[in-house]
Amino acid sequence: MGDSRIRAGVDFDRPGVQHGHLDAPYSRDGSAWGSLLIPITCVVNGAGPTVLLTGGNHGDEYEGQVALAKLCRAIDPAQVRGRIVIVPALNYPAARAGTRTSPIDGGNLNRSFPGRRDGTMTQMIAHYVDSVLLPMADVVVDLHSGGTSLEFLPSAIMHRLADRQQSARTFAALKAFGAPVGLVLEELDTAGLLDTAAEDKGKVFLSTELCGGGRLDFEGLAIAERGIRNVLIEVGALRGEIERRPTRLLDTDGPGRFLKAPEAGVCEYLAPLGAAVERGQPLARIHFLDRPSREAVVLTAGAGGVLWGRRPLAQCDVGDCLAIVAGELDERSITSEPVRRGGPGVL
Ligand code: CA
DSSP, residue by residue, 209-221 = E---TT---HHHH
C-alpha 144 – ligand 1 centre gap (Å): 5
C-alpha 149 – ligand 1 centre gap (Å): 10
C-alpha 293 – ligand 1 centre gap (Å): 37
C-alpha 2 – ligand 1 centre gap (Å): 28
Given phi > 0 = left and psi -120 to 50 = alpha, else beta, which region is 46?
A: left
C-alpha 308 – ligand 1 centre gap (Å): 15
DSSP state letter for 295: P
- Distances in whole angstroms, Cα of residue 226 to Cα of each of 64, 242, 283: 11, 9, 33
The pLDDT score that the predictor gives to residue 336 is 74
What span, in angstroms and rounded, lies between the C-alpha atoms of 137 and 109?
19
The pLDDT score that the predictor gives to residue 187 is 83
Those residues of the chain that have pLDDT short of 50 are 1, 345-347
The pLDDT score that the predictor gives to residue 31 is 98
The pLDDT score that the predictor gives to residue 225 is 98
Query: Could you read off the pLDDT of 184-200 as tens digits, one per residue?
Result: 999 878 899 999 999 99
Query: Could you read off the pLDDT of 61-118 as tens digits, one per residue?
Result: 999 999 999 999 999 999 999 999 999 999 999 999 999 999 999 999 999 999 999 9
C-alpha 53 – ligand 1 centre gap (Å): 15
C-alpha 29 – ligand 1 centre gap (Å): 30
* β-pair type (82-87, 50-55): parallel
* β-pair type (321-328, 258-260): antiparallel
pTM as predicted: 0.95
The pLDDT score that the predictor gives to residue 334 is 86
